[in-house]
Structure 1
């Protein structure tokens, strides 16, 4: 059973119905489309939290801090979707690579490795856990100050680990933080195209060994933890959010003229 727009819990009407209602409806419609109209309760955390934050961003309403994990394979569209959510909410956007990459590269070199390594045992066991620790602790520093956060990272191993997920949920409960997980689903061909376009040295091994790398991707599976799926196969979801972004800019420009 899937949810329709009308089945989502009602939100308070904004003060100015002329343009604000149009913006709210567009945000709601776009998020429902790209997440496949989920019926699960965790979808309400994302939808209501984002619209409430949009209204607060425009000078209305308030809410307790929210933590959004945007997860998926390399090249799936995580960054673009995270940026869209940050645009809507003004929540802190923490991208794992932006936050930790210089330190990761220097640490790999100091350990005798390749700064662009993202696949050997050295990276996976000695460096990667530290990246995620930095990311999560930075997020909770923001949450403790009442600032919601959007985290963009693969989270492949983390979301498959029941102990990691349980610890995250318990910590959020203890600190009175809402949490939602977004899994960005994408096909291997589209991911490769995206990876090629961004031309990042850390992706060199993936492209040089694409068949072996692609063989490790399970594009039909989702995390075992409760989550919302953004279906970005063939770039569909990201195209929708780009269109919504442009339309919202036009709506806001129209409001400023009145």
Structure 2
């Protein structure tokens, strides 16, 4: 079984996915925990800002290889244990066929969780965590929020409301 935890940065994906993986006795593959050192090294070697996660150059160089590495790690573990993948998957969520494509690709059941919260709460949580990667997002908050359309995902998913009143996030 493959579980995919998605949502905007600072919504609480890692915390939620960690609990989910523990409850399921599943392998957790979190984009930040696993790939952050490699991404920082690559950005530094290429002369780019090590905290860049928004530029077209970053997305062109790293997005697909990192996501494909996550999928490869998932495949390697799925024969032994359930797997929880944790990443934004922003582009993938716009594909109405994504969940079905994953079922075909991995030949197993897939559950996509989409974590969401109000933009004001996300901004507060992002400010509170103080991650240097978030600086550009916070400086250009309105533009950044346009990247994450207010639309719900177009693929099959289970919504998880991370709003403060419901989850104490």
Structure 2 length-normalised TM: 0.91
Alignment partner for residue 199 of structure 1, among 113, 121, 130?
A: 130
CA distances 1:119-141 after superposition (whole Å, capped 9, x unpaired): 11111111111111111111111
Shift in Å at residue 90 of structure 1?
Answer: 1.8
For 2:62 and 2:5, locate their aligned partners in 1 and report how far apart those are by CA, in whole Å. Answer: 21
For 2:84 and 2:159, locate their aligned partners in 1 and report how far apart those are by CA, in whole Å. Answer: 16
- Structure 1: gaps of 5 or more residues: 1-65, 243-258
For 1:164 and 1:225, locate their aligned partners in 2 and report how far apart those are by CA, in whole Å. Answer: 6
Alignment partner for residue 213 of structure 1, among 133, 141, 144?
A: 144
CA distances 1:187-238 after superposition (whole Å, capped 9, x unpaired): 111111111111111111111222221233323x22111110001123623x
Shift in Å at residue 169 of structure 1?
Answer: 1.8
Is this contact kept in 2: 1:70–1:184, CA < 8 A?
yes
Count of matched residue positions in the alignment of Structure 1 and Structure 2: 169
TM alignment of 1:51-70, pairs within 5 A = 66-70=1-5
- Structure 2: gaps of 5 or more residues: none
For 1:199 and 1:230, locate their aligned partners in 2 and report how far apart those are by CA, in whole Å. Answer: 24
Is this contact kept in 2: 1:186–1:235, CA < 8 A?
no
Is this contact kept in 1: 2:99–2:110, CA < 8 A?
no
Is this contact kept in 1: 2:30–2:87, CA < 8 A?
yes
For 1:149 and 1:208, locate their aligned partners in 2 and report how far apart those are by CA, in whole Å. Answer: 35
Higher normalized strand content (fraction of residues): 2
Structure with greater Cα Rg: 1
Higher normalized helix content (fraction of residues): 1
The 3-state SS of whatever aligns with 1:74 is coil
